[in-house]
A and B are shown apart, each in its own frame.
Chain A
Amino acid sequence: MASETARSHAGVEVRMEELSRRYGPVVALNELTLTMAPGELVALLGPSGCGKTTALRLVAGLEEANSGRVVFGGKDVTGLPASKRDVGMVFQAYSLFPHMTAMQNVAFGLTLRRKTADERLRRAGEMLELVGLSGFADRYASQLSGGQQQRVALARALAIEPTVLLLDEPLSALDAKVRSRLRDEIRRVQLEIGITTLFVTHDQEEALAIADRVGVMNSGHLEQLGPPTEIYSRPATPFVAEFVGLTNRLPGEVKSGVVEVRGTRLPLVQPDAPDGPAIALVRPEAVSLATDGAMSDGPLVGTVIAVAFLGATSRVTVDLGDLTVMAQMPTSTAASTPAGTRVLLALRIDPVLIAREEKASGDA
């Protein structure tokens, strides 16, 4: 029942056109342009202060843009206040109205839309069922756990059949297990309803797991926008490479479109990079280890100093003397290289990005 109601609302295209927001001399958002397809879930990912929440608040109408436009389904909503934008929003902080029950919270937006009591009750009940909280309708916020509160907040946001759903780090106050479960639930509900959704987070795992496309933001602008696999495996900039996933920073020398790292020549993502010293950004899974044979000293021979168990995979940290390098591999493989083992590193010949910092630490 709930899903039938939900499916009847197709998503709309959402466009942010050259959106800018300044706070005095500080540019929080610098000409952000982003188009979300109907029904798409886009995650904005970035460190604190990168402008991702500002972008979401501009879409919600909770802040005014200095320039640029917000367009929902071809309609310019830039000048509309938050109360007229028809967005559903879930906040980072628990935002249920403490003096209302879960049912009253979910029905609040419907009351403002002058729905009849029957309609309110039916719709709010459907939404609570959608998020799996039918039995909690009469509970107050203080009687619900954090995860349940956020699910009620999601139901409340969806009850008004909004044009777009905005999620402002809705999972960050929750513990890891609840977080992972609720993340999957948000995605399930979003797919079921087909609503265009903007999800803001600083958690890369969350963004990569939930989104159709991920936009990585830095210093107020969008560094890269693409599907999670592309963001992870083909980062467009050194910032994206370092922010998303772990990255080894290996000092090397750029020469004629390749970077030479300790005797290994790796092709560049941008082959036209000028020659000179550079730092190659290499993923841990692009590093493999070998232990066979009597290894002499060499630029890629080192000693395992730590093995971190991550479940199906393990991360092995190798000390090369002047540099530590991380390698990620199946746990069964890592078992053969306990701490203290002498190993030979091999770098996968994949195109890599380079950074140009003066000082290279070598740490990921």
Chain B
Amino acid sequence: MNSSQRLKLRVFRIAVLLLMGAFFLLPIGAMLEFSTRGNSVNAPRTLDAWVLIAQTPGLVKGIVTSLQLAVITSLGMLALLLPTMVWVRLRLPQISRIVEFICLLPLTVPAIALVVGLKPLYIWVNINVTPSVLALAFAYLILVLPYSYRSLDAGLAAIDLKTLSEAARSLGAGWITVMWRIVIPNMPSAILNAALLSVALVLGEFTVASLLNFQNLQVEVAYVGLTNAGTSTAVAVGALVLAFVLLMVLTLVGGRLQQQNYIPGQRA
């Protein structure tokens, strides 16, 4: 590649970056602008809408609930999916396509159809187990399956799972030790990505919670939006920024863990 081609490529990359940046940042900027407007046309900028977030009990509760749901869903997803995928890869590779199909299925099911199916179950859970909004984690577990599956699948494909697990077992490790000491430390990025996707999905989820009559962050945002658009928008911006910060933190942590595993060095 000559210098002219390199320059063109560089310009193209910067142009794409700027374009995508504008695509993502302009709406957020507009929302930020809207959430800091005063009450009249010439009124100065104000943070009233943002201050009001803390004074709106429903919103705070919604934020806490969604964060709890994000944590439960992420941990639940990992606890359910990771051992299953490891087991299928090692012991039942012949059903891997079936498992993949099941995990990707929620992508094709509209939220409303999912709610119709889940409604009787949630009525029963509400009466017999718990009326807690945290029961939503079960529905979210289904919703995050396709994204988490893809991420974990890529992580598992990147390591020689069979050899590593057999080596550990021959050294005396049981299956839990294999998972905890060998599998998980060797795919930190994939696990973090799967967790991040789950968190992002849960923080932004509205339809299922609303239709099942649960109050999570997005339901509260929509509710507040009916009476105070500024605060509602401020919360939405806050949620987006939170997701962005989480993404950055997880990426940095993941990158650091990856570096610890594969320190580049001279091969002896």
Chain A residues at the B interface, C-beta cutoff of 8 Å = 60, 62, 81-89, 91, 93-95, 97-99, 108-109, 112-113, 136, 139-140, 142-145, 148, 153, 156-157, 160, 166
B169 touches A143 (CB 8 A): no
Chain A residue numbers with a CB within 8 Å of B264 are 142
Chain B residue numbers with a CB within 8 Å of A93 are 160, 163
Chain B residue numbers with a CB within 8 Å of A142 are 262-265
Min Cβ gap B192→A in Å is 15
Distance of A85 Cα from B266 Cα, bound (Å): 37
Interface residues on B, range: 20 to 34
Closest 5 CB pairs of A and B: A109-B171, A95-B167, A89-B170, A143-B265, A82-B169
A140 touches B174 (CB 8 A): no
A143 touches B266 (CB 8 A): yes
Min Cβ gap A85→B in Å is 8
Distance of A166 Cα from B261 Cα, bound (Å): 27
B172 touches A109 (CB 8 A): yes
A160 touches B262 (CB 8 A): no
Q: Which residue of A lies closest to B267 (CB)?
A: A145
17 additional contacts (CB under 8 A) given A97-B182, A166-B170: A83-B172, A88-B170, A88-B171, A89-B166, A97-B167, A99-B186, A108-B168, A109-B172, A112-B173, A113-B172, A139-B265, A142-B262, A144-B268, A145-B268, A148-B268, A156-B167, A157-B171
A98 touches B170 (CB 8 A): no
A98 touches B186 (CB 8 A): yes
A98 touches B172 (CB 8 A): no
Q: Does B22 reach chain A (CB closer than 8 Å)?
A: no
Q: Does B102 reach chain A (CB closer than 8 Å)?
A: no
A97 touches B168 (CB 8 A): yes
Q: Which residue of A lies closest to B261 (CB)?
A: A99
Chain A residue numbers with a CB within 8 Å of B177 are 112
Min Cβ gap B190→A in Å is 14
Chain B residues at the A interface, C-beta cutoff of 8 Å = 159-160, 163-164, 166-174, 177, 181-182, 185-186, 260-268
Chain A residue numbers with a CB within 8 Å of B168 are 97, 108
Evaluate whether A83 and B268 lie within 8 angstroms (CB atoms) in the complex, with A97-B186, A140-B261 already known.
no
B170 touches A87 (CB 8 A): yes
Chain A residue numbers with a CB within 8 Å of B185 are 99
B260 touches A62 (CB 8 A): no
Distance of A136 Cα from B265 Cα, bound (Å): 13
B163 touches A98 (CB 8 A): no
Chain A residue numbers with a CB within 8 Å of B261 are 98-99, 140
Chain A residue numbers with a CB within 8 Å of B159 are 98
- A–B pairs, 24, beta carbons within 8 Å: A60-B166, A62-B166, A82-B166, A82-B170, A83-B169, A84-B172, A85-B170, A87-B170, A89-B170, A93-B163, A95-B164, A95-B166, A97-B182, A99-B185, A99-B186, A112-B172, A140-B262, A140-B265, A142-B262, A143-B263, A153-B167, A156-B171, A160-B171, A160-B172
Min Cβ gap B172→A in Å is 4
B173 touches A144 (CB 8 A): no
Distance of A78 Cα from B45 Cα, bound (Å): 78
